[in-house]
Structure 1
Amino acid sequence: MFGFVKEVFQNFAKDWTIENLARELEYVKRIFVVSKDMRGRRLYEIADQSLARLAHKSDLPDVYSYIMAFLVDADNSKLGKTPVLSGKDQSKVSNGIAGPSQEPAWLKSYTEKAPQLETAASILPSFNYDQHDKRIIETELHTIAPKEPLFDELESIVRIKQAEAKMFQTRADDARREAEGLKRIAIAKNEKIEEEYRSRIAKLRLVEAEEMRNKKLEELQALDRAHREYSNMKMRMEADIKDLLLKMEATKRNLSL
């Protein structure tokens, strides 16, 4: 994990803002909070001190140089030369008090802590950081690193995904309600159109029926006139025949006399 942190800072930290650097330092603190390795403990302390400096608006390049100096020196087994804030300087940082020049005090603290770290290194000879030991230590750190930060990150991702799912579900519900509203409007318009169509058809049929009625009425009136004319003609013919018969009877009587 130490090598991974070093690679990340070497490749990306120079482009970070104060907010990005502070967030990454918080992750580093979470990872190395239970570290039993000297480098891990020192990295935890460096991250804590750097966060304190960032909290009081220290110069970002100074903090970056401070962290990178530790990472480079620690990886080269030069922990004795790694910069460390003294207790006095750290209290000044936490109280937001800065001297005439913070950088000299900072550099001065390197040499104050150097003998202590060299003594610790001599007491613990097993911390000879060759490649094999580094792999073993990183494996152990990976095993004993607290799971809470990872769970926190996963929970944060889950909450984000749940919020996104809820947002999309809300949008889907809104779209469904809008579609249902449009469907109801379409059905209402369709019913209105059908009703209007039936009304127009009924009116057209009524007009056609009226025209047919008038036509039939005219035909009936024509038949009635023809019937009356026929009746009148029949009556005239009957009268003519009766008159003719009477004349024939009279003529017959006259001839018999």
Structure 2
Amino acid sequence: MLGLVIAFQEYSIGNGFFDGPWVGAEHFRTFFDNPNFSQVFANTVVISCYRLLFVFLPPIVLAILLNEVMSKWFKRLVQTLVYLPHFLSWVIIYGICFIMLSEGSGLVNQWIRQTGGEAIGFLTSEEWFRAIIVSTDLWKDTGWGTIIYLAAITGINPQLYEAAVMDGASKWKQICHITIPGLTPVIFLMFVLRLAHILDGGLEQILVFYNPLVYSVGDIIDTWVYRMGILEGRMSLAAAVGLFKSVIALGLVLGANQLSRKITGSGVW
């Protein structure tokens, strides 16, 4: 935390935290006055909201479905298959997408040409970029996210299900009235933690997938900081943007935690 002071200084590598000249809020003004600020901020929020909308719920649904599977070997097989993508790097995933979606030799475009259509530049199209980012993130981390929810389901008192069966409750009613309410505190907890990263956008994934042709829809705060702050050695600017993101994340987490406490009676703290 002490190092954040460089956000208010003209820091140079090799100098101490307190040796740089004091410039106040100059680096914040540089960021806010940049012509690309509104674009990178909007891209970051939109991509993060898409992730929150399309990637947050599938692990919950998958965990509930796996919990209802009676065949142990089938359940383990499905778990293994959906967990595997998590251990692949984004470079490997991009390679898979390139093989499938590249405009020249991609398998999908080859099929499109054979059916009489024109090839689509999935990886260089502004219309498709965000969809690819969200879908690959969904494929990569959905299986891993189910671990938390499966663990939460195992913590639900089995006697509740036994009592529901005795009362004649169907599987659907058991899910609606026992499983989902039992998962609600964990769901809100994960939602609060997810909000803390609303301005992150997924630097590693974006760096691998994006190119100058999709900057208008794919350039996020982290990639802008990487180019302007890290590659150009402007560490103070990078620190200022990081502090700005942290303040926004803190406000969102405090608000979401308060909402969680009102609805579920518990929060992160």
TM-score (normalised: structure 2): 0.23
* Max Rg structure: 1
TM-score (normalised: structure 1): 0.24
Greater helix fraction, Structure 1 or Structure 2: 1
